[in-house]
Amino acid sequence: MNSQRMVRVSKYLARHLRHAPEEIGISLDQHGWVEIDDLVRAAGAHGFAVTRDELEQVVAENDKRRYVIEGTRIRASQGHSSRWTSGWSLPYHPSSSTTGPSGAASPRSCRRGCCR
C-alpha cells in the first residue's frame, strides 16, 4: 500500500473508530472494540473499500500506535470523542499528572506541595 493510501485509511479509522462510528452504522463495545469484518463491511457499504490486510498494515506501521488489533477486533487507542468512552478507563488519566500540556503545575499538585 502506498503512503497516500495509508494516510487515507488511517484518517478513515480515526473518524469512525474515535469520533463517529454511527456514521457508517457500526457499534463499538464498552471498550471501543468492533469486529474487523463488521468494519470492513460497513466501510465498503459506505463507499470506502478497505481490506483486513490494509487495516493490519496501518496498525503495524503507525508510529503513534493509534490503533490496536486483537484477534478479530480493532479499536482506536487514543483520542476518542464518542459517547461510549464515558465508562472506559484510560491507562493515563490527566488528574494523576503533575503538569499540564504546557508544563504548568496543576492545582492538584500545588495542593500536595509540589509548587513550592
How do residues 53-93 score in pLDDT, each as one tens digit?
999 999 999 888 899 999 999 999 876 555 544 444 444 33
pLDDT tens for residues 95-109? 444 444 444 444 444
- Whether residue 106 lies inside any domain: the answer is no
What's the domain count of the chain?
A: 1
pTM score of the predicted model: 0.68
Q: What is the CATH number of the domain that holds 53?
A: 1.10.10.970
97, amino acid identity = S
Q: Which domain holds residue 66?
A: 3-86
Radius of gyration of the chain (CA): 17
14 belongs to a structural domain: yes
What are the residue ranges of helices labelled H in the chain? 3-13, 36-45, 52-61, 107-111
Residue predicted with more confidence, 114 or 62: 62
